[in-house]
Amino acid sequence: MYIIIIGCGGTGAALAKHLASEDHEIVVVENDEEHAKSLAESMDALVIHGDGSDTEILKDAGIAKADAVVILTRDDNTNLTICQIVKKFNIKRIVARVNDPGKQDLYIGLEITAAISPIAAIVSYFKNAITQESGRSVVSIEKGKAEIMDLKLTNEKLNGRKIKDAGLPSNATIGLISREGEVIIASPETILKKGDLLTVISKTEASKDVITLLKG
């Protein structure tokens, strides 16, 4: 894939290096001149010094052939502006960083591929580590109203049962099962096995009951 990353701090640099290692073609647009020079010397990517909200800079970065654009500046107004500009180029995948979780709805209103709030994700991780040590929240949904959790099935009473017979709360469902290196798309008829790693989508108020049930 041809991927443009706009705003390349610590997260952007790590992402760029990871994507480049998987043979994606990466172009970085960085507004800070000294930082842009440093990035050019440290990664296998084309680094362009310039303002990511400047259409001419985006054209220089190859926006016309980009498969995806990732917008990671630390200013939400800048990110929102760039999202609007990038959408005009009919990019298939636009992913933006949300710096202020309270502004996430503004990004969603733009109908981009994903608006990711690092702050909300980190808060969710820490909250679950503190209050629900047997569960790990992967992502918080709709301002904390729901969660996606990875949970290992250790309740022996559920071994061999179908998901529909497991007794999950009505506001929770199992979406994926990781089992012995295989990924299974779950359905009500899927049979559970002790040791399965389950990806569960749950309303937050039901998460404790889900953990208690699956852990035994």
Higher pLDDT, 141 or 164: 164
Tokens matching residue 131:
């209050």
Q: Which CATH architecture has domain 2-116?
A: 3-Layer(aba) Sandwich (3.40)
Of the pLDDT bands very low, low, confident and very high (cuts 50, 70, 90), residue 131 is low
201/141 Cα distance (integer angstroms):
10
User: Which whole-number Å values give the CA distances from 6 to 30, 42, 86, in the listed order?
Assistant: 6, 17, 11
Of the pLDDT bands very low, low, confident and very high (cuts 50, 70, 90), residue 108 is confident
Break the chain into its structural domains and give their ranges.
2-116, 121-215
Q: Tell me which CATH code domain 121-215 carries.
A: 3.30.70.1450
Mean pLDDT of the chain: 90
Res. 29: pLDDT tops 80: yes
Res. 135: pLDDT tops 60: no
pLDDT for 70: 97
Residue that has been written with the tokens 């009505």 in this structure: 170
H runs (alpha helix) in 22-75:
33-42, 55-60
11/16 Cα distance (integer angstroms):
9
Q: What is the pLDDT of residues 69-105, one digit of tens each?
A: 999 999 999 999 999 999 999 999 999 999 998 888 8
